[in-house]
Amino acid sequence: MGKKRIIQKTEKELLEEREKIEAAVKKEPKTEVPVSGKVKEAKLYIVSSYNNTTITLTDLAGNVLAWTSAGAIGFKGTKKATPFAASKVAEAMAQTIKKLGIQKITALVKGIGSGRESAIRSLASRGFDIVSITDITPVPHNGCRPPKARRV
């Protein structure tokens, strides 16, 4: 088998590698994440499936500010998919929105679960200025290719 060789880098190579790493770390992100209080408008993504309801709050650039779901609040099993759970998720998100000081909300709803409308109603009852409600549920347009004809 022979002896194993340990390759040792020179001091110059180590310095060059360190400079590359530091340059990569110093690069600024594409958009700045605003500090609380500076954000006035936000997008609210409500994803309602057969199993859960998730609400994500982002700024207009798409950076996530906060999120919550029925499972994160404490609902388990089939109770996560109920309209009651969705309204509780919306109430929890409403508290977060108030802490951040956001006034205008654009709601984007996705999915076919039972918690879609109850989440929006719960947010509207909290007194937020909902600018628009958009349905972004993906809709198939022609579907996938059908299977070959069965030969018997």
pLDDT higher than threshold 70 for residue 26: no
Residue 86 counted as domain residue: yes
N residues, the chain:
152
The per-residue pLDDT for range 62-116, each reduced to its tens digit, is: 999 999 999 999 999 999 999 999 999 999 999 999 999 999 999 999 999 899 9
Long-range contacts of 130-139, Cβ-Cβ distance < 8 Å, separation of 24 or more? 130/105, 130/106, 131/41, 131/104, 131/105, 131/106, 132/106, 132/107, 133/107, 133/109, 134/106, 134/107, 134/108, 134/109, 135/109, 135/110, 136/108, 136/109, 136/110, 137/109, 137/110, 137/111, 137/112, 138/110
pTM metric for this prediction: 0.71
Residue 79 counted as domain residue: yes
| Number of structural domains in the chain | 1
The token pair at 98 is 């108030």
Q: Supply the CATH number for residue 85's domain.
A: 3.30.420.80
